[in-house]
Structure 1
Amino acid sequence: MIEVVLQGQTLKANLLNPEVSKRYEDGFDKVVKTFDEAAKCERGSDGIRMQCQAVIDYVTDIFGEEQAKKVFGESTDLLECMDIMEEMYDMYEKYITPKVTKKKQELIDRFSK
């Protein structure tokens, strides 16, 4: 399990599992597509609802319902959801890649002696 921080909340997920990683990638693409589709809504509130729900579903799919509730609380708004999407986008670069790079270097150092 890898710990990450979203909206100041520490969450855990098995982000190096290939199935979870695929859900992360596919989920991100789905949210971006929903953001594009929401622009076509006649009512602004419908577009906001679509976008927020897409982000909530995405975070829930990766981290589970209980951890997602920690991030979103009782209610959320579009700007908060956009901030969360930005944090999700940066998550691998900020948390996962450094861990993998460090571990790989430790193995190289250990076994190349």
Structure 2
Amino acid sequence: MSTIDVCPKPADTCRSEGHRRTGHRIVGLMHSGKPFRPGDWAERLAGVIALFVKERRPGSSVAATWLAVPYVDGSVKCLDVCAELAEICPEAFDFVMRFAEDNELRIQPGR
């Protein structure tokens, strides 16, 4: 990735089988500071990740709930992406990180 902007809050850790894993936080603010549209972008990306994971590991779509978690921080939409997604479904991880970069969204690396 070419540019990484840091948000004020650290990226949450992911939980998988009792383990804590780091991830990335994609923030719904563009590098210019404008909110990213459409307003449901994080939910849409989480849905796409769930489809990637389900195709890669049939019967594992429930796992997608902890691999990509949309939420609102203040009034800003965000998506936490578990680093384990890169192991489980590299195509989904690459897709979501490219999406963020292509749309000039702010990315905070995990701890």
TM more than 0.5: no
Q: Which one has a bigger Cα radius of gyration?
A: 1
TM-score, L = length of structure 1: 0.31
- Greater fraction of residues in strand: 2
TM-score, L = length of structure 2: 0.32
Higher relative contact order (CA 8 A, sep 6+): 2
